Amino acid sequence: MSTAPQAAPAQQASSSGAAPLNSLTTAERAAGWRLLFDGKTTTGWRGWKMDSMPSGWQVVDGTLKRVKPAADIITTEKFRNFELSLEWNIAKNGNSGIFYRASEDRDDNAIYWSAPEMQVLDDAGHPDGQSRLTAAGADYGLYPSPAGVVKPAGQWNQVRLVVNGNHVEHWLNGVKVVQYELGSPDWEAKVKASKFASHPHYGRNAEGYIGLQEHEYPVAFRNIKIRVLP
């Protein structure tokens, strides 16, 4: 199992001006990257446990943006092992998240009953920023992220999320902020001591949907790209 994918994160190329927003370079295509958001439509996305896209999520200036109360959204396709690249911009005091291997075929009342979450947050303005376990970049509630990596509300933050078998890496603005192994003794102990202990399917799916969280505040995503890993 490779724990250090070699392809350069796609969002770095776009941020440096090497490629237009929401597009792929020739090198990215050759490396197996593809777009999950084309910057123009919500094709490929729908609401969690919904057949359509909630109206509170809209395409605004080339971003996928939560503009009014809505629901969590997921990809229409499931993924097992992958490298995800995107950028997010959160409003002041805002809170959101990136889910992976989410399911909806059980009686779960919330997406996080099954899906681990990489936290998206205004660390300076939201109460969750007072704990590194729930701050930007953290594996929400389980593995803390270091301080000083996230950019302030209103600025674009770059994410790289690697999920390969049981190995998971969270990268924020070019820094690996979290690494863990699903199902390891350490992970099992942390789950048992967390709010996820009462959700037996949490983190157990071998594949699932990628999700973006609706959590009361405006948040925008762009350059959402994925590379499936063997």
**pLDDT tens digits along 104-140:** 987 899 999 999 999 999 999 999 999 999 999 999 9
Total domains in the fold of the chain: 1
189 against 1, higher pLDDT = 189
Mean residue pLDDT across the chain = 93
Predicted TM-score (pTM) of this structure: 0.91
Whether 166 maps to a domain, the answer reads: yes
Check pLDDT > 80 for residue 152: yes
47-69, pLDDT tens digit by residue? 999 999 999 999 999 999 999 98
Which pLDDT band holds residue 2 (cuts at 50, 70, 90)? very low
Whether 14 maps to a domain, the answer reads: no
Whether 6 maps to a domain, the answer reads: no
* 18: alpha, beta or left? (left if phi > 0; alpha if psi -120 to 50): alpha
Which pLDDT band holds residue 36 (cuts at 50, 70, 90)? very high
Whether 18 maps to a domain, the answer reads: no
What pLDDT does 10 receive?
Answer: 42
Whether 108 maps to a domain, the answer reads: yes
Q: Which two tokens stand for residue 157?
A: 């933050």
Which pLDDT band holds residue 200 (cuts at 50, 70, 90)? very high
106 against 210, higher pLDDT = 210
What pLDDT does 28 receive?
Answer: 97
Whether 169 maps to a domain, the answer reads: yes
18 against 144, higher pLDDT = 144
Domain of residue 150, CATH code = 2.60.120.560
Whether 75 maps to a domain, the answer reads: yes
Percent over 90 (pLDDT), the chain: 89
Whether 69 maps to a domain, the answer reads: yes
Q: Which domain holds residue 167?
A: 23-228
What pLDDT does 18 receive?
Answer: 60
